[in-house]
């Protein structure tokens, strides 16, 4: 089993190296495609190229993004009375206050527990160089 895990690590290292190389190559190709699109269609304009012999196309679609309002900077610009016209007070949940209320017996721990969700654990992929600590005392 240890040999199989070693083989998996070796193969994963090769795959990652190839993937990184291919990602870099793809970025270079897209960069050049965008340069050509700027020349032919105009800067930051949508552009589509079809190659019939390959039955493939490449395109750059430009989509308008929704404007975002910087509420913090707006609030600083407005007077207090103007800000009151466009804002509301609201109650906000505070975990620290909940913990204190449970500790003081003001809210039942069982009630809180009944409303606490515990989703199943999710695996996270970890792959990379081992640290010196990882390697200490390892014998394969």
pLDDT in tens, 61-80: 999 889 899 999 999 999 99
pTM tops 0.85: no
Q: Can you give the pLDDT at residue 140?
A: 64
> What's the CA gap between 138 and 65, in Å, rounded?
53
> What's the CA gap between 71 and 32, in Å, rounded?
38
User: Token pair 């009944």 is at which residue?
Assistant: 114
> What's the CA gap between 12 and 25, in Å, rounded?
20
Q: Can you give the pLDDT at residue 128?
A: 83
Backbone dihedral angles phi then psi of residue 87, each to the nearest 5 degrees:
-130, 160
């Amino acid at each position: 089993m240890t040999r199989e895990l070693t083989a998996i690590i070796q193969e994963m290292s090769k795959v990652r190296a190839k993937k990184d190389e291919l990602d870099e190559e793809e970025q270079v190709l897209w960069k050049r495609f965008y340069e050509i699109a700027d020349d032919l269609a105009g800067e930051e304009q949508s552009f589509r190229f079809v190659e019939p012999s390959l039955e493939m196309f490449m395109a750059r679609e430009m989509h308008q993004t929704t404007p975002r309002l910087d509420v913090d900077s707006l609030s600083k610009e407005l007077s207090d009375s103007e800000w009151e016209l466009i804002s509301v007070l609201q109650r906000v949940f505070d975990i620290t206050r909940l913990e204190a209320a449970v500790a003081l017996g003001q809210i039942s721990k069982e009630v809180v527990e009944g409303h606490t969700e515990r989703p199943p654990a999710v695996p996270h992929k970890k792959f990379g160089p081992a640290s010196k600590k990882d390697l200490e005392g390892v014998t394969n």
